[in-house]
């Protein structure tokens, strides 16, 4: 008989849908804590900035506001959800990126230790002057990480006290809390970080929030990408103006007309929900179904392909034999978005269904039969219901 309270300024689509349908009780807070006004949010078109000769990572309006904030002894938060210095290095001759040998995913350059790093398996290598594929010296850096933005801020605002918060700077057990306390005490002027700084923080002296870029998050291929981006933008903008001083927020983007960015700028969750729930319904995604991902990985691609096809056939036979009555739509099997991680090939079978007892019984049977099959002893299998299917 316990009570579960779920609270968020940007609840998940599923939670809000159930609240609308009466499955959950819905309580809404229409006023901001302490009744301070929401920050004014401005979308900055970086294509216009580039066309007018600004090749900096920061727009002119954001630089002007940072100058004003620093002059008033106020604080600012800047968000970029990419750690490292550059997100990938490409050879201009063979057109191949410098990739992880274990995952075949472009390595990220980290300037602090002058090394390339894979953010998926942890592989690292020394900085190089020649392409590993063709030996060319014509290597080009692309993409932006928090380390590069940190360098840019130090160049533009040498007097500012800068705190960078990402997985590279907060590896110790208490570093999160210690850094946040130091920022709250006014020991830093600007906090730059990844999504760890976007939610649940209350710094009354923060009067400006800047989003360097979140464009890539919109187009990850996951059906939840719009929801995550809207939530991240709305929440980080809400870190501004939480005290007595009014706040502003800037969203830098190359797609200024995208409806998700504009609704996030308006802090308009209700309209975003209407748009997104209609899209989910038309494409049959949660909350209108449950999604089960059956994943496979193995050192040999032939084994992982064979295993995924064998399980698909096993499901077909189970449905025919047991005459199941739950809806089921299968997509795949097909390679995952990142086909290989840590020297293991990865495939998945996506099932759109209803998470009923009969369906779970089928999955239990499939997994049990798979473990008995000695042909695929090197293949790992998992079943994940309503998890993240982006990778």
Query: Does one domain contain both 166 and 277?
Result: yes
Domain boundary among 253, 282, 311: 282
pLDDT bin (cut points 50, 70, 90) of residue 251 is very high
Q: What pLDDT digit, counting tens, does each position of 322-377 carry?
A: 888 888 899 989 998 888 889 999 999 999 999 999 999 999 999 999 999 999 99
3-state SS record for 238-299: CCCCCCCCCCEEEEEECCCCCHHHHHHHCCCHHHHHHHHHHHHHHHCCCCCCEEEEEEEEEC
What is the extent of the structural domain holding 155? 13-84+144-282
For residue 254, which phi and psi values (nearest 5 degrees)? -100, 0
Query: Does one domain contain both 273 and 344?
Result: no
Name residues whose C-beta falls within 8 Å of residue 178's C-beta, 6 or more positions apart in sequence.
none
Query: Does one domain contain both 261 and 332?
Result: no
d(CA 358, CA 41): 49
- Using DSSP's 3-state secondary structure scheme, residue 72 falls into coil
Tell whether 296 is covered by a domain: yes
Tell whether 95 is covered by a domain: no
Contact 190, 162 (CB under 8 A): yes
Supply angle C-alpha 329, 338, 343, rounded to 5: 120
Report the DSSP pairing between strands 344-353 and 328-341: antiparallel
Name residues whose C-beta falls within 8 Å of residue 198's C-beta, 6 or more positions apart in sequence.
79, 232, 235, 236, 239
Query: Does one domain contain both 208 and 65?
Result: yes
Query: Does one domain contain both 301 and 212?
Result: no
Domain boundary among 282, 316, 348: 282
- Domain at 69, CATH number: 3.40.50.300
Radius of gyration of the chain (CA): 24
On whether the pTM is more than 0.75, the answer is: yes
pLDDT bin (cut points 50, 70, 90) of residue 293 is very high
Tell whether 120 is covered by a domain: no
Query: Above 70 in pLDDT, residue 213?
Result: yes
The total of other beta-carbon atoms located within 10 Å of residue 102's CB is 16
Query: Does one domain contain both 30 and 171?
Result: yes
pLDDT bin (cut points 50, 70, 90) of residue 149 is confident
Tell whether 355 is covered by a domain: yes
Query: Does one domain contain both 278 and 315?
Result: no
Query: Does one domain contain both 278 and 295?
Result: no
Query: Does one domain contain both 299 and 361?
Result: yes
Query: Does one domain contain both 162 and 309?
Result: no
How many structural domains does the chain have?
Answer: 2
Token pair belonging to 68: 């004003």
Domain boundary among 264, 282, 300: 282
Tell whether 117 is covered by a domain: no
Query: Above 70 in pLDDT, residue 86?
Result: no
Query: Does one domain contain both 222 and 301?
Result: no
Contact 383, 363 (CB under 8 A): yes
Query: Above 90 in pLDDT, residue 127?
Result: no
Query: Above 70 in pLDDT, residue 188?
Result: yes
Q: Is 244 exposed, middle or buried (0-12, 13-18, 19+ CB in 10 A)?
A: exposed
Torsional sign, CA 284, 290, 294, 295: positive
Tell whether 6 is covered by a domain: no
Give the H/E segment covering residue 141.
Answer: strand 139-142
What is the pLDDT, as a whole number, of residue 115? 83
Tell whether 96 is covered by a domain: no
Query: Does one domain contain both 269 and 312?
Result: no
């Amino acid at each position: 008989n316990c009570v579960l309270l779920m609270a968020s300024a940007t609840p998940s689509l599923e939670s809000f849908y159930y609240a609308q349908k009466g499955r959950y009780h819905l309580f809404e807070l229409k006023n901001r804590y302490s009744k301070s006004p929401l920050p004014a949010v401005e979308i900055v078109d970086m294509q216009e900035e580039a066309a007018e000769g600004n090749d900096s990572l920061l727009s002119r309006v954001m630089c002007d506001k940072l100058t004003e904030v620093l002059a008033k002894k106020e604080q600012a938060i800047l968000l970029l959800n990419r750690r490292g210095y550059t997100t990938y290095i490409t050879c201009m001759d063979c057109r191949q990126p410098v990739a992880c040998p274990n995952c075949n995913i472009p390595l990220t350059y980290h300037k602090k230790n002058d090394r390339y790093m894979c953010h998926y398996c942890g592989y690292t290598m020394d900085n190089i002057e020649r392409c590993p594929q063709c030996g060319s010296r014509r290597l080009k850096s692309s993409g932006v990480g928090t380390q590069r933005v940190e360098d840019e801020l130090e160049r533009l605002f040498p007097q500012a006290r800068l705190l960078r918060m990402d997985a590279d700077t907060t590896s110790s057990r208490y570093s999160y809390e210690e850094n946040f306390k130091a920022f709250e005490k006014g020991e830093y002027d600007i906090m730059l970080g990844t999504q760890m700084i976007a939610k649940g923080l209350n710094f009354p002296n923060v009067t400006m929030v800047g989003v360097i870029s979140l464009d890539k998050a919109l187009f990850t291929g996951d059906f939840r990408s719009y929801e995550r981006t809207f939530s991240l933008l709305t929440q980080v903008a809400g870190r501004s103006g939480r005290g007595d001083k009014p706040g502003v927020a800037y969203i830098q983007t190359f797609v200024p007309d995208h409806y998700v960015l504009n609704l996030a700028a308006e802090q308009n969750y209700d309209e975003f929900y209407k748009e997104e729930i209609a899209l989910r319904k038309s494409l049959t995604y949660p909350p209108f179904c449950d999604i089960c991902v059956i994943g496979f990985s193995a050192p040999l691609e032939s084994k992982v392909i064979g295993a995924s096809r064998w399980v698909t056939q096993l499901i077909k036979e189970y449905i025919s034999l047991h005459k199941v009555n739950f809806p089921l739509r299968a997509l795949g099997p097909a390679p995952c978005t990142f086909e290989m991680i840590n020297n293991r090939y990865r495939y998945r079978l996506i099932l759109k269904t209803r998470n009923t007892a009969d369906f779970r019984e089928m999955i239990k049977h499939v997994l049990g039969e798979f473990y008995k099959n000695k042909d695929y002893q090197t293949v790992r299998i998992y079943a994940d219901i309503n998890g993240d299917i982006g990778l």
